Amino acid sequence: MSSPASDSTLDEAYDKLHPTIRRWIRDQGWDELREIQARTVNAVLDGDRDILIAATTAAGKTEAAFLPILTKVAERKEPGFSVLYVSPLKALINDQFKRLDELCDKMGIPVVKWHGDAPQADKKRALAKPQGIALITPESIEAMFTRRPADASRLLSTAAFIVIDELHSFLQGPRGLHVASLLRRIDAMSKKAARRVGLSATIGDLPQAAAWLRPAVPHSVEILEAKSDSPELRLQIRGFVEPPELDDPDHAEGAAGAEETPRRIALDDIADHLFATLRGTNNLVFGGSRRTVESAADRLRRRCEAAKVPNEFFPHHGSLSKSLREDLEDRLKDARLPTTAICTSTLELGVDIGSMKSVAQIGSPRSLSSLKQRLGRTGRRRGTPSILRVYVREPNIDQDSGMLDRLRSNTIRSVAVVRLLLERFVEPAGEVPETASTLIHQILSVIAERGGIRARPMYDLLCGPGPFASISVSEFADLLRHLSSEAVKFVEQASDGTIMLGKEGERIVQSRNFFAVFESPDEWRLTVGGRTLGTLPISFPVHKDSLVVFAGQRWIVQDLDEKTNTLFVAPHPGGVVPRFERANGERLHDRLAAEMRQVYLASDVPPYLDDKGRSLLAEGREMFRSLGLETTICVQEERNLHVFLWRGSQAIAVFGAAAAMVGIPGEVHDLGLTLSETNVFDASAKLKLLADAEDVDPIGLAAFVENVTAGKFREQVPQPLAKALWARQNSGPITGINGMARTVCHAHGAGSDGGLH
């Protein structure tokens, strides 16, 4: 870590910058550089190390990186881009272009946006004379490698700096593996590796992020963490209970124009509070799923119509058309009209939409990292607080309700999240299950780039320090053999040993969907009057006269074209909220699970809970005590045994697989594992096999895991490799199986009633 900058250091840093940049700073009306900016200026201009900049949203990270980088490359004449700025979002690239263009124009440094929606004329000029800065997405780098390999070398190989924005978003998931592999390939074609500069607001494990940024020598990365000057936090958790026998917690209000008055659900009460509280200001409301976003936006629009006031509430999610999303982003940024965006995580990353008065979340948070990122959108102006509202939905309780519902875990988790938020805890990134799938993608890409390559050079290129370091030479060879099999036909080998694309590999690489490592499912395209509203999953059942809620409004399908998967819609008073693709729930970290138990054990009543929230907290704690969960972990409920493990999602899932392996399959949930059709005596007898075992066979255990493969090419991943990778990535929880099994067995013998309640 670098030490904080002194006043003299701030002055010295300013004096080191290019004269045009100093003039630009004065024109902006800045009194001085911020502390993180000065430290970064010195690190860039006085050293040669890679740099990781960790600072809150709106702390000036972009300027911190680019002011010294522009100073460094101002006089550079070498052909090729001087700087690559890699972003996870096209919208963020567009935003950064606006921030950099004026200054770079004054310095005579070209800047080009390079993504699928960027102007072709600008790209052509850059291709003819590559210089300056390219703001580019991972998918566009991939397209350059596979479609224009000679241009890729000419444009990318001489870069002096590669800036990776929103680095925390690349620490997990297939896209992070993809970017890390692309960076490695750019280094391989360069005479001198570009310095890497990572920017991020929310990182739970800075050394882990440094290892991602420069895997070969992570200790060489200079970490610059801004002094925390977080604004005052004002928060409230509001509790809501669903009505009895609820089938759909996100259905449309007055769905399909039903004659009878629909019964109210929790989302109706939440919409009432949002409408009364947020009107007249700019806010973000995170809905979790696209379905919840559409249902909430529809309710809020209808309340505006009923009150005869202009609508201020608009949806924002990945299925909406780019133009609709950008219109909403521009409206938020402009700030002349009060606007609340009901969104998924699409507005979580750093697209500049100005400072929001407040952030709300429908549903209990599961990730500290996401919550902190969202909170960074509010309280950005000096002297203004961050405002957070959490709307917790709990099931109705009646005589048939089970103990898990009665424990009110959503409310408990919300309180636990706030406690950890106040402790400044952020979970580190987890393992990425799409490793093998992404490696297959990169194998196809490298072959397409080179026209053919021998196995060992390809292994050295892809599987050194970095995203695929865990793959051995023999595993790589087995993977290539599998990909060349008659069942797959992704690659084939020439007589001289060169690996080339096979028939299926050629077809896949030529597809316009190849560049992304995530899947592009078939979708319906919704249009009205020739204007595209967005897309729906092809699995959503539609026919002529179908009703649908989309883009915050209600429509009727007037016609459809199955050849082009197009729905032609018109406004209509009725509507049904679509079921989009199933969202993958965020994994619960071990620390959060343990904190939930502490909330159950505590007796304090946090002041940020509303009356209903306090009541739900009391109900959950009372149930916890009545079950004796202070001292036991096994509780019988009818024919099922609940095992309360107080561990994170990954550890519980692994233990669940181990339980299935010894003959007691169960269902994983946030509090532990429910073993079906068993009791503590029988479960203990079987789990004793695990408790007494010296170790558990990881490969054998993998056979009891659902979806051991993941990713775009999961169907082409050989099972032995999939199981081996799963075992490695879960080695920690696997070694803990014995201990958890012993705990369960001990619970059987510890009490006079064997832990039964």
Q: How far apart are the first and last CA of the chain?
A: 52
Handedness of CA 315, 320, 323, 325 (dihedral sign): positive
Question: Which tokens is 526 given?
Answer: 């919704």
What is the pLDDT at residue 521? 77
Confidence of residue 92 (pLDDT cuts 50, 70, 90): confident
The H or E element that residue 84 is part of is strand 83-86
CA dist list (Å): 184 to 190, 272, 399, 573, 637: 10, 51, 59, 54, 53
What is the pLDDT at residue 752? 32
Average pLDDT rounded to a whole number, residues 30-51 = 94
User: Does residue 373 belong to any structural domain of this protein?
Assistant: yes
What is the pLDDT at residue 757? 36
pLDDT at position 3 over 50? no
Same domain, 165 and 242: no
User: Does residue 605 belong to any structural domain of this protein?
Assistant: no
Confidence of residue 748 (pLDDT cuts 50, 70, 90): low
DSSP string for 150-165? HHHHHHHTT-SEEEES
For 525-554, the pLDDT digits (tens) are: 999 999 999 999 888 888 899 899 999 999
What are the backbone angles phi and psi of residue 456, rounded to the nearest 5°?
-65, -45
Distance, in Å, from the CA atom of 668 to the CA atom of 654, rounded to the nearest integer, reads 10
Give the distance between the most distant pair of CA atoms in the chain.
82
Distance, in Å, from the CA atom of 157 to the CA atom of 169, rounded to the nearest integer, reads 25
Confidence of residue 21 (pLDDT cuts 50, 70, 90): very high
What is the pLDDT at residue 246? 83
Distance, in Å, from the CA atom of 627 to the CA atom of 405, rounded to the nearest integer, reads 13
What is the pLDDT at residue 751? 38
The H or E element that residue 203 is part of is none
What is the pLDDT at residue 754? 37
Average pLDDT rounded to a whole number, residues 234-251 = 91
Instruction: Tabulate helix, strand, coil % of the chain (nearest 5).
Output: 45, 15, 40
The residue from 366, 396, 423 where one domain ends is 423
CA dist list (Å): 457 to 329, 435, 477, 506: 46, 20, 12, 21
**Do residues 476 and 459 lie in contact, with contact meaning Cβ atoms separated by under 8 Å?**
yes
Same domain, 539 and 671: no
Cα three-residue angle 522-527-531, rounded to 5 degrees: 125
> By percentage, how much of the chain surpasses pLDDT 70?
95
Distance, in Å, from the CA atom of 680 to the CA atom of 642, rounded to the nearest integer, reads 9
The residue with tokens 């029988």 is: 682
Average pLDDT rounded to a whole number, residues 141-162 = 96
Average pLDDT rounded to a whole number, residues 616-631 = 97
Question: Which tokens is 21 given?
Answer: 């940049």
Low-confidence winner among 65-69, 376-380, 430-434 (lowest mean pLDDT): 376-380
What are the backbone angles phi and psi of residue 184, rounded to the nearest 5°?
-65, -40
For 642-693, the pLDDT digits (tens) are: 999 999 999 999 999 999 999 999 999 999 999 989 999 999 999 999 999 8
Average pLDDT rounded to a whole number, residues 36-45 = 95
Query: In terms of Cα–Cα distance, which of 200, 226, 193 is closest to 88?
Result: 200
The residue from 502, 536, 571 where one domain ends is 571
How, if at all, do strands 313-316 and 340-343 pair?
A: parallel
For 319-332, the pLDDT digits (tens) are: 999 899 989 999 99
pLDDT at position 273 over 50? yes
Distance, in Å, from the CA atom of 453 to the CA atom of 505, rounded to the nearest integer, reads 14
> By percentage, how much of the chain surpasses pLDDT 90?
74
Low-confidence winner among 198-207, 387-396, 746-755 (lowest mean pLDDT): 746-755
User: Does residue 242 belong to any structural domain of this protein?
Assistant: yes
What are the backbone angles phi and psi of residue 134, rounded to the nearest 5°?
-110, 120
Same domain, 472 and 503: yes
Query: In terms of Cα–Cα distance, which of 147, 169, 210 is closest to 518?
Result: 169
Same domain, 486 and 353: no
Task: Label each residue of 439-500 as H, E or C.
Answer: HHHHHHHHHHHHCCEEHHHHHHHHCCCCCCCCCCHHHHHHHHHHHCCCCCCCEEECCCCEEE
What is the pLDDT at residue 393? 97
User: Does residue 591 belong to any structural domain of this protein?
Assistant: no
What is the pLDDT at residue 637? 94
User: Does residue 53 belong to any structural domain of this protein?
Assistant: yes
Write the single-letter amino acid at 253.
E
CATH number of the domain to which 409 belongs: 3.40.50.300
**Number of folded domains in the chain?**
5
For 160-212, the pLDDT digits (tens) are: 999 999 999 999 899 999 999 999 999 999 999 999 999 998 788 999 999 99
Same domain, 293 and 148: no
DSSP state of 639: T
DSSP state of 216: T
Same domain, 212 and 346: no
Average pLDDT rounded to a whole number, residues 268-277 = 97
Same domain, 309 and 412: yes
Average pLDDT rounded to a whole number, residues 577-593 = 82
**Do residues 689 and 418 lie in contact, with contact meaning Cβ atoms separated by under 8 Å?**
no
Query: In terms of Cα–Cα distance, which of 390, 389, 426, 438 is closest to 410?
Result: 390
pLDDT at position 94 over 50? yes
Same domain, 237 and 219: no
Q: Which residues pair with 195 in a beta bridge?
A: 161
User: Does residue 589 belong to any structural domain of this protein?
Assistant: no
What is the pLDDT at residue 229? 61
Instruction: Count other Cβ atoms within 10 Å, centred on residue 595.
Output: 22
pLDDT at position 349 over 90? no
pLDDT at position 32 over 80? yes
DSSP state of 336: S
User: Does residue 113 belong to any structural domain of this protein?
Assistant: yes
What is the pLDDT at residue 228? 66
The residue from 510, 533, 561 where one domain ends is 510
User: Does residue 156 belong to any structural domain of this protein?
Assistant: yes
Distance, in Å, from the CA atom of 690 to the CA atom of 673, rounded to the nearest integer, reads 16
**Do residues 55 and 230 lie in contact, with contact meaning Cβ atoms separated by under 8 Å?**
no
Rounded to the nearest 10 degrees, how much is the dihedral formed by the CA atoms of 341, 345, 348, 353? -30
For 288-319, the pLDDT digits (tens) are: 899 999 999 999 999 999 999 999 999 999 89
Handedness of CA 63, 373, 86, 2 (dihedral sign): positive
Same domain, 279 and 367: yes
Distance, in Å, from the CA atom of 386 to the CA atom of 129, rounded to the nearest integer, reads 46
**Do residues 573 and 257 lie in contact, with contact meaning Cβ atoms separated by under 8 Å?**
yes
pLDDT at position 400 over 70? yes
Distance, in Å, from the CA atom of 330 to the CA atom of 328, rounded to the nearest integer, reads 5
Same domain, 326 and 344: yes
Higher pLDDT, 252 or 132: 132
- For residue 356, the enclosing domain spans 233-251+264-423
DSSP state of 356: B
Query: In terms of Cα–Cα distance, which of 596, 573, 714, 599 is closest to 645?
Result: 596
What is the pLDDT at residue 588? 94
Q: Which residues have C-beta within 8 Å of that of residue 474, sequence separation ≥ 6? A: none
The residue with tokens 């729930």 is: 585
CA dist list (Å): 719 to 485, 544, 753: 14, 44, 44
How, if at all, do strands 222-225 and 51-54 pair?
A: parallel
Q: Quick one: how far is CA 414 from the chain centroid?
A: 19
Alpha helices in 190-247 (DSSP H): 206-213
Write the single-letter amino acid at 129.
K
Enter the pTM of the model.
0.92
How, if at all, do strands 161-164 and 640-644 pair?
A: unpaired
Distance, in Å, from the CA atom of 52 to the CA atom of 39, rounded to the nearest integer, reads 12
What is the pLDDT at residue 350? 64
Average pLDDT rounded to a whole number, residues 502-507 = 96
Distance, in Å, from the CA atom of 596 to the CA atom of 235, rounded to the nearest integer, reads 19
How, if at all, do strands 566-571 and 553-561 pair?
A: antiparallel
User: Up-side HSE of residue 516: CA atoms within 13 Å toward CB?
Assistant: 12
Cα three-residue angle 497-500-505, rounded to 5 degrees: 145
Same domain, 67 and 183: yes
pLDDT at position 216 over 70? yes
Same domain, 348 and 382: yes
Question: Which tokens is 290 given?
Answer: 């696209």
